[in-house]
Structure 1
């Protein structure tokens, strides 16, 4: 009879540990995926920003040497990511191909200008900074006109700000949910040992002495759950990198390292805090309150 009861208790204990590990793993996996999105949202936003082009149309009077000097100066600017020179002849060929006929035969001359397509670094792709750059370029004697898609820049900036705001809200929500779920699982695990806690307390054990093995055990379960979460996250990173290679997830070692450390630290903090307050609650209960 005793052996059957002991076996039942061991199965119950293993089941309790398994539920704690699974809860921790699922929650930390969700936190990891969200953290991955947050880390990469900046890269994705920068990718779209750096696709915006500012076209600089040059005066006909400037020489090829002056154009080359101007290009070299642009490359040294802190806002420049890439530049491409487009001659008026190349622009005419492209335009003729787009409209399906050679319009130069009708006009006799090429009205287009030599131009430079300037791609800015992401930090400079905002309505305010691009407006400042446009005003600066318009003062340059080499430049005939400056053009860029203002509505696109404004809409892109608003959308990125809106998405960043909601990502922060969702991150906070998941953080609270994760703490509640892990805390509940640990409390249920400790609840089954509440009589042992009270017995140890009655024979003179200090609260710190009683609490220590529970905290250590919960932290071990937390790290097992974190390890499982990291394995799941590794599969996600691998498959996302396969289907969206432009994100370069597997090459971004520092972000992945920070993410892994964040999950491990989260497991440590959440399990430690949850176990501390769970054991504290049962330590403060009276003996007759243990049955409720």
Structure 2
């Protein structure tokens, strides 16, 4: 009979530990995922900004020397991330592929112009900065026929990035608060099941720190285990994203990724230590009658 009861107690204890570790793991994994998203959000936003191209068209009178000189000038420009020269012959071929027929046969000549597609660095993709770049190019190069880019898209991208950043901050604060509550509740329930043991130890003369220490150490170990599992899951998530979306370069900032892992581990240890400390303190301060 005693053996059956001991097995029941052991299963109950393992079940309690499992639920605590699982709750810590899920919460820390969610927070870690959010942290990884935050450190990569600027990279994602910059990558999107740099896909916006400014196309510079040249007059037909512009010869190869002028075009090459302009290309050399762009390579030295601090705002240029990437430049692509598109001759009017290449542009005609692209248009032919798009419309499905050779428009040069009935026009008799190529009406398109030589051009450069300029992908501007993300820091310069602002309304005023792009307008300044446009004015500078027009002033320094009289052979430029026209400069075209999506002005509305530039404004829309910047406005939306600011809104998304604000919501990310709000969601981060909310999830952190929920994480603290969930982990704290799981640990409080675990301590609650041992409230009679705590009070018995106190009644036989054990000090509060002596009683509290094993519970705190156990919870910290569970927190470390949950954090370690969360970090392993985050590594798996990073590997999956890197394998399937290599262009994102999600593993480029290894220092920041390591910082997120350290923060996840530290948060797991800190919250379990604090929650267990205050939970045991609460039952230590209760009268015996209040335990029921």
Instruction: Bin the TM-score by the shorter chain.
Output: 0.7 to 0.9
Moved more, 189-198 or 232-241: 232-241
CA distance 1:146–1:104, shift in 2 (3 Å) = farther
Q: Aligned residue pairs: how many?
A: 290
> How far has the Cα of 1:154 moved from its partner?
2.1
Corresponding position of 2:145: 144
> How far has the Cα of 1:2 moved from its partner?
4.5
TM-score, normalising length from structure 2? 0.86
Corresponding position of 1:269: 270
The answer to whether the aligner puts 1:195 opposite 2:196 as a matched pair is: yes
Corresponding position of 1:117: 117
Q: What pairs with 1:170-181 in structure 2 (closer than 5 Å)?
A: 170-181=171-182
> How far has the Cα of 1:203 moved from its partner?
4.3
Query: For 1:132, what is the secondary structure of its paired residue?
Result: helix
Distance 2:96 2:7 in 1: 85
Corresponding position of 1:64: 64
> How far has the Cα of 1:61 moved from its partner?
4.8
Per-residue Cα deviation, 1:102-155 (whole angstroms, up to 9, x for no partner): 3476365x5443321110112222323222222222322343322101122222
> How far has the Cα of 1:53 moved from its partner?
0.2
Per-residue Cα deviation, 1:135-186 (whole angstroms, up to 9, x for no partner): 2223223433221011222222233333333333222222122111111110
Query: For 1:139, what is the secondary structure of its paired residue?
Result: helix
Distance 2:60 2:93 in 1: 18
> How far has the Cα of 1:93 moved from its partner?
4.0
Distance 1:276 1:79 in 2: 55
Q: What pairs with 1:81-96 in structure 2 (closer than 5 Å)?
A: 81-96=81-96
Corresponding position of 2:185: 184
- Please provide the CA RMSD for this pair: 2.6
Corresponding position of 1:43: 43
Query: For 2:140, what is the secondary structure of its paired residue?
Result: coil
> How far has the Cα of 1:27 moved from its partner?
1.4
Query: For 1:91, what is the secondary structure of its paired residue?
Result: helix
Corresponding position of 2:239: 238
TM-score, normalising length from structure 1? 0.86
Moved more, 17-26 or 203-212: 203-212
Corresponding position of 2:80: 80
Distance 1:128 1:205 in 2: 71
Distance 1:23 1:7 in 2: 24
Moved more, 201-210 or 76-85: 201-210
Gaps of 5+ in 1: none
Q: What pairs with 1:218-233 in structure 2 (closer than 5 Å)?
A: 218-233=219-234
Gaps of 5+ in 2: none
Distance 1:90 1:14 in 2: 69
CA distance 1:275–1:230, shift in 2 (3 Å) = same
Distance 1:208 1:133 in 2: 67
The answer to whether the aligner puts 1:169 opposite 2:146 as a matched pair is: no
Corresponding position of 2:33: 33
> How far has the Cα of 1:62 moved from its partner?
4.7
